[in-house]
Structure 1
Amino acid sequence: MVFQPEDLLYSPEHDWVCIRGNMAYCGVAPFKLTGIRRIERICMPAIRVGDLVRKGEKILDLFYRDYRIPVYASLTGVLKEINPVLETGQWQQIINCPMGAGWIIRIAPIGINTRHLLQHTLYKGRFL
């Protein structure tokens, strides 16, 4: 699965969300991964499918050497799926394809509010 840039909305923390029908995929923007060659470990809080994830809540930390890259939920919703690459240790997918196979979680949004998010053209103009 690959998400088209124009379908993405970006948070001020450089995380993205793609809303597809009644589901939303969340991931890390490539800008946030600048200079990260590989992910050496991941620290994910004890969240499970069915849990409520709140906008701005940290969903995991990525680690590379001394760098800690926090990843936040861009919307509030019920957690429907954690990307299997996180559980199987195929973390390089997050680096290689952050807007595709490297998505982090899929949620069912509650009360979608995207006013705090940037459209791709605005984000691109500022950070890419």
Structure 2
Amino acid sequence: MDFPEELKYSKEHLWVRMEGDRAVIGITDYAQTQLGMVTSVELPEPGDDLEQDDSFGSVEARKTVAELYAPLSGTVLEANSELHTSPEFINDDPYDAGWLVVIEMADPEEANLLMSAEHYEDQVAVAEDDEE
């Protein structure tokens, strides 16, 4: 499983790539593995406001639907429209082609509440131990 060091992570298994006052958000490698083959994605529209920890969309896989919870507050600048026709990008390339949205952060300080790659990897290890 991949845990890129330059990213921040939420407890809801989303990753955040900080780019100045913008943040790119996607689903972690661990989450896409747990979901299985993604079949559709519901994302917000550009201009929509996100509040940290509020639902902003969903990912449907063959066996389940998972809500997406915003790791940061902000305004959606871009949603990955490629996912409407190719939701498998989330499974194939979760940290690049499978990104979900780009937001302009309302409060960059919120990013301090997110986990480092090392901390997230530890959380995943605990979750996997609990499954056994």
Smaller-chain TM-score range?
A: 0.7 to 0.9
Give 1:43-122 correspondences, 5 Å limit. Answer: 43-44=42-43, 47-87=44-84, 89-112=85-108, 113-122=110-119
* Deviation of the 1:6 alpha carbon: 1.4
Amino acid at match of 1:33: Q
Instruction: Indicate the RMSD between aligned Cα atoms, in angstroms.
Output: 1.8
State the Cα deviation string for residues 43-94 of structure 1 (Å, max 9, x = none): 34xx32112111112222111223112222110011100012123x111101
SS in 1 for 2:89: helix
SS in 2 for 1:79: strand
Corresponding residue for residue 41 of structure 2: 42
Rounded to whole Å, the distance in 2 between the matches of 1:106 and 1:86 is 14
Percent identity of paired positions between Structure 1 and Structure 2: 25
Q: Which shows bigger deviation, 48-57 or 6-15?
A: 48-57
Contact 2:13–2:27 (Cα < 8 Å) also in 1 = yes
Amino acid at match of 2:13: H
SS in 2 for 1:75: coil
Q: What is the TM-score of this pair, normalised by structure 2?
A: 0.82
Contact 2:90–2:98 (Cα < 8 Å) also in 1 = yes
Task: Give unmatched runs, 5+ long, in structure 2.
Answer: 126-132
Corresponding residue for residue 4 of structure 2: 5
Rounded to whole Å, the distance in 1 between the matches of 2:14 and 2:101 is 12
State how many pairs are aligned: 122
The list of structure 1 runs, each at least 4 consecutive aligned residues, that deviate by more than 3 angstroms after superposition, is: none
Rounded to whole Å, the distance in 2 between the matches of 1:121 and 1:52 is 30
* Deviation of the 1:39 alpha carbon: 1.7
Query: Of Structure 1 and Structure 2, which has the larger fraction of its residues in helix?
Result: 2
